[in-house]
Structure 1
Amino acid sequence: MDTLITSTDSPSDNSSSQNETELYWNQFVQPVWRIVLWAVAYSTIVIVSVVGNITVIWIILAHKRMRTVTNYFLVNLAFAEASMSAFNTVINFVYAIHNEWYFGVHYCRFHNFFPIAAVFASICSMTAIALDRYMAIIHPLKQRMSSLQTKVVIGVIWVLALLLAFPQYYYSTTDQLPGRVVCFIDWPEYSLMDFKKLYFVCVAVLVYFLPLLVMGCAYLVVGLTLWASEIPGDSSDRYQEQLNAKRKVVKMMIVVVCTFAVCWLPYHVYFLIHQFCPHLFEHPFIQQVYLSVMWLAMSSTMYNPIIYCCLNDRFRAGFKQAFHCCPCVPEGSYNGLELKSTRYLQTQTSLYRASRMETSVSCVMQPSEDVHKVMFESIRGSEKKAAAHSPSREFTSNGSSSRSISKTLSETSSFYSSNNLPE
């Protein structure tokens, strides 16, 4: 941020020393009251982000039923955000207050390197979730990613993130100015191109604009499918319940993406303007602009746990369990964090299958309303009676074996759990 750094040569006499001191004087010193206000604001980010995201990681990893494809990416997202908040937010604030670096050359390199990698890993995780939701809803018959494949994708995301951020690590250095030390990136100069501008434009495209475009298209198609279309003839309660659950998950992720987009837009605009109009950043007021833009960008790391808690029943139950000792936290049912029992799932699945069978028969036979109702009640009654005696001996209406119905129940139950339904 120090746009007054133009030379690092040693002064040759008193006159040049005085001129250099005037050139490098630190115009970013702030009054104490302003420092205190900014310190409170940035401290709030760190506390809420680290505690909230660690809790999210615990909720997912400590409960087997929460370990789905979507939630593995949420773990990666929470890890990236908690790490960036813990390792960079406070340091960035301290450096921005007086524009003086206290932490050595090695941490200077890490400080410039890690945020780019963390932001890239975060937005790639959100993009992977959007594509996973797209495949699950638009192409439900295609095979979903396994846990191993999901972990491989996360590993690839971090490898690409580290490669993208490596130039910032390689060219970062510190310099001793009269009265202070600064941390900056000493970009190479080429006659054919401006490497610095090219790099920042590529970073803005790869960690913001391109992923948001992909997620916007994916969620637009998913939203039109879930909200603007209905399956003819299928109005069963179970179907509506599953449809509403999918809508809740997609709605939660759309809120997460929109929050990220709003928080990081001023940051990318700020640095893109800095590349093309550097003279605007020589004024003292730019420090307050920078602190505001950086605070908004860093605050994106603390909103996601709040969004999960407000919009997802299982995460809400997990947060209540994690903070049950706090007097301000209301008592909740910890059982809500896990899916229902296997018997409950089988019973609910049988009802769902019965409603689907009723819909198929009604579409083919087109019976009258009374006959339609009697047929549905008869099928539902037979399903409940069979489940009550022995779920393993349940039969379908056409007399198929219990082995095939058990397989169907298992696959359907897996589908419910893999979509991280709130109920």
Structure 2
Amino acid sequence: MAESQISSNITRNVTNRFVQPPWRVAVWSVAYSSVLAVALFGNLVVIWIILAHKRMRTVTNYFLLNLAFSDASMAAFNTLINFIYATHGEWYFGEAYCRFHNFFPVTAVFASIYSMTAIAVDRYMAIIHPLKPRLSATPTKVVIACIWVLAVVLAFPLCFYSTTRNLPRRTVCYVAWPHPAKDSFMYHIIVTVLVYMLPLVVMGITYTIVGVTLWGGEIPGDSSDNYQGQLRAKRKVVKMMIVVVVTFALCWLPYHVYFIVTGMNKQLNKLKSIQQVYLSVLWLAMSSTMYNPIIYCCLNSRFRTGFKRAFRWCPFIHVSSYDELELHATRLHPRNQSSMCTLSRVDTSVHSNDPNQGTRKSAKRQAPSPERG
């Protein structure tokens, strides 16, 4: 009975509401296509930079790789489909893709934000507890696998209850909850807490402690001669990740607020302008997939060099030997760093303990300065 009433309301109230003037459809098409192009290409370049260069295969970068993969996947499989369905109100893609369409965004967002959370915890352990054991490559991959398993478990109800329905003038894709009004609202509250509020609280606490330590005191256990260089390197990594987290939080906040507010006040769904509001908050949420490569390029010298190499076919992009050294210089084992610094007075390089910074060659060999990274 409830499902029949919902279908009746959709037929009566939604069909005409999705008809938009051509100019508006064109504007939204350009906006969503831009997100798709930038997110897909930018994140694929990030994946290539990490996989193609051994120096980039660090714990932090493995999580960034997972983040880039989830963002690229969501951009490829959901951004354009979301736009088409939200614009026309007609589902053209069959029931199987309907299930995937509702299931995958929650999975990808979960993988994204918990990859950021894992990086925050790793940075916290590296800076606040530097003498405790750190994650190696194999445990990192296990953590990433666990993140995806938990993401699938959380999103499974959307896949299980998703279906299509043929209405008189169109086909719709929706989640047929057993108790639509109650189940839909409660599920979104759970998702908001687990995929937005909880990880942001964890990251807020860890980065606050790390920030106070890096900008307001000394790094515990760090008394090497290269303290200032190491401090700058660690600050840059933390600063980059804070920008990534804040960008994610701002992009997804209106989306979560929209569903909570419309869930509490069903009458808002009948407003003619609600489609434009939804397209706006959806675009902002989907745009979160395209900002990270830009942030990496602007705030990390190695990623910037990687993007230079990816775009070296452009006539105005020049990759110097200095840039090549940034990605290909051999990293020293941490146990050998202090002794290597004393081998020669000529070699004044800074060896960073930060896993994202690696080892620097001497200034006389034209290696990157300790400020870069």
Question: What's the TM-score once normalised by structure 2's chain length?
Answer: 0.87
Give the aligned partner of residue 166 of structure 1. 156
Give the aligned partner of residue 314 of structure 2. 326
Q: How does 1:75-86 map to 2 (within 5 A)?
A: 75-86=65-76
1:279 to 267, 274, 278: 267
1:307-354 per-residue CA deviation (whole Å, 9 max, x = no partner) reads 0000001000000001100234344443244263468999974475xx
Give the aligned partner of residue 420 of structure 1. 357
User: 1:55 is aligned with what amino acid?
Assistant: V
Maintained 8 Å contact 1:112/1:168: yes
Taking the aligned partners of 1:20 and 1:168, their CA distance within structure 2 comes to: 20
1:25-46 per-residue CA deviation (whole Å, 9 max, x = no partner) reads 4321101011111001001101
Residue 7 of structure 1 and its aligned partner are, at CA, apart by: 5.0
Give the aligned partner of residue 31 of structure 1. 21
Q: How does 1:391-402 map to 2 (within 5 A)?
A: none
1:224 and 2:224 aligned: no
Maintained 8 Å contact 1:24/1:177: no
Maintained 8 Å contact 1:347/1:384: no
SS at match of 1:216: helix
2:250 to 259, 262, 269: 262
Give the aligned partner of residue 145 of structure 1. 135
User: 2:226 is aligned with what amino acid?
Assistant: R
CA gap 1:206/1:111 in 2 versus in 1, 3 angstroms: same
Give the aligned partner of residue 110 of structure 2. 120
1:240 and 2:232 aligned: no
Q: How does 1:68-107 map to 2 (within 5 A)?
A: 68-107=58-97
CA gap 1:21/1:55 in 2 versus in 1, 3 angstroms: closer
CA gap 1:123/1:342 in 2 versus in 1, 3 angstroms: closer
1:384 and 2:373 aligned: no
1:6 and 2:5 aligned: yes
Maintained 8 Å contact 1:175/1:183: yes
- The root-mean-square deviation of aligned C-alpha atoms, in Å, is 2.9
SS at match of 1:325: coil
Q: How does 1:131-142 map to 2 (within 5 A)?
A: 131-142=121-132
Taking the aligned partners of 1:43 and 1:78, their CA distance within structure 2 comes to: 18
Maintained 8 Å contact 1:188/1:195: yes
Q: Which has the larger radius of gyration?
A: 1
Maintained 8 Å contact 1:317/1:336: no
Residue 239 of structure 1 and its aligned partner are, at CA, apart by: 1.5
Maintained 8 Å contact 1:24/1:178: no
Give the aligned partner of residue 391 of structure 1. none
Taking the aligned partners of 2:6 and 2:247, their CA distance within structure 1 comes to: 41
Question: What's the TM-score once normalised by structure 1's chain length?
Answer: 0.77
1:317 to 302, 305, 311: 305
Maintained 8 Å contact 2:99/2:162: yes
User: 2:188 is aligned with what amino acid?
Assistant: F
1:355-406 per-residue CA deviation (whole Å, 9 max, x = no partner) reads xxxxxxxxxxxxxxxxxxxxxxxxx6xx427x99xxxxxxxxxxxxxxxxxx
User: 1:263 is aligned with what amino acid?
Assistant: C
Taking the aligned partners of 1:168 and 1:277, their CA distance within structure 2 comes to: 22
User: 1:335 is aligned with what amino acid?
Assistant: E
CA gap 1:167/1:346 in 2 versus in 1, 3 angstroms: closer
Give the aligned partner of residue 369 of structure 2. none
1:335 to 320, 324, 341: 324
Give the aligned partner of residue 361 of structure 2. none
Maintained 8 Å contact 1:339/1:417: no
User: 1:254 is aligned with what amino acid?
Assistant: I
Query: What are structure 1's unaligned runs of at least 5 residues?
Result: 10-18, 353-379, 389-411
Taking the aligned partners of 2:340 and 2:176, their CA distance within structure 1 comes to: 66
Maintained 8 Å contact 1:313/1:336: no
Give the aligned partner of residue 187 of structure 1. 177
Give the aligned partner of residue 398 of structure 1. none
Maintained 8 Å contact 2:15/2:89: no
Taking the aligned partners of 2:74 and 2:332, their CA distance within structure 1 comes to: 43
Maintained 8 Å contact 2:56/2:356: no
Taking the aligned partners of 2:233 and 2:82, their CA distance within structure 1 comes to: 40
Residue 6 of structure 1 and its aligned partner are, at CA, apart by: 2.8
Residue 20 of structure 1 and its aligned partner are, at CA, apart by: 9.8
Give the aligned partner of residue 52 of structure 1. 42
Residue 255 of structure 1 and its aligned partner are, at CA, apart by: 0.2
Aligned residue pairs total 354
Give the aligned partner of residue 364 of structure 1. none
Identity of aligned residues (%): 60
Maintained 8 Å contact 1:274/1:280: yes
